[in-house]
Amino acid sequence: MNKPAKQPPITNADDAARAIANLNTIMDRLVDTVERETARVRVGRLRDALEKDETKVELARAYAAETERVGAAKDLIAKNLPDVLDRLRKRHDAFRALLQTNLTVLATAHAVSEGIVRGVSSEMARKQAPSTYGATGRANVPSSKTSQPLAFSKSL
């Protein structure tokens, strides 16, 4: 994975405009990548969602580096390009909402898959335990210690 090239600090309005344009370009690509990932996870296409993972990491690194660079020059930008800074803040807020949706979808997929694995494990343990009755006449509940380990392949 490549680290983004270290950019020189922003020293004037032209540098600021170029940095913001670069940040917007990175954001466009990152938004597209996150939207595609979210859509694929929602419909259960996890393998397809993972295919863009490295791209997302690279773009996130570039985004963080450029955001830090722009943030370091926020006083200069606010003075020379206040309307551009305001649009960038609004866009950043929208991007944050998109990321929150993405994280919610990923967490839901994780919870669902964990529930499926736990359900399969419980069913396997139930089927392997002997069906007996206790002294009270009720069926004995199998101990969690009697269950066999569950192994599965991560490759889909």
Q: Which of 17, 19, 28, 25 is nearest to 84 (CA)?
A: 17
Regarding pTM above 0.85, the answer is: no
Q: What pLDDT digit, counting tens, does each position of 97-110 carry?
A: 999 999 999 999 98
Low-confidence ranges of the chain (pLDDT < 50): 1
Map out the domains of the chain as residue ranges.
Answer: 13-128
As a whole number of angstroms, the distance between CA 41 and CA 30 comes to 16
As a whole number of angstroms, the distance between CA 104 and CA 51 comes to 19
As a whole number of angstroms, the distance between CA 98 and CA 80 comes to 29
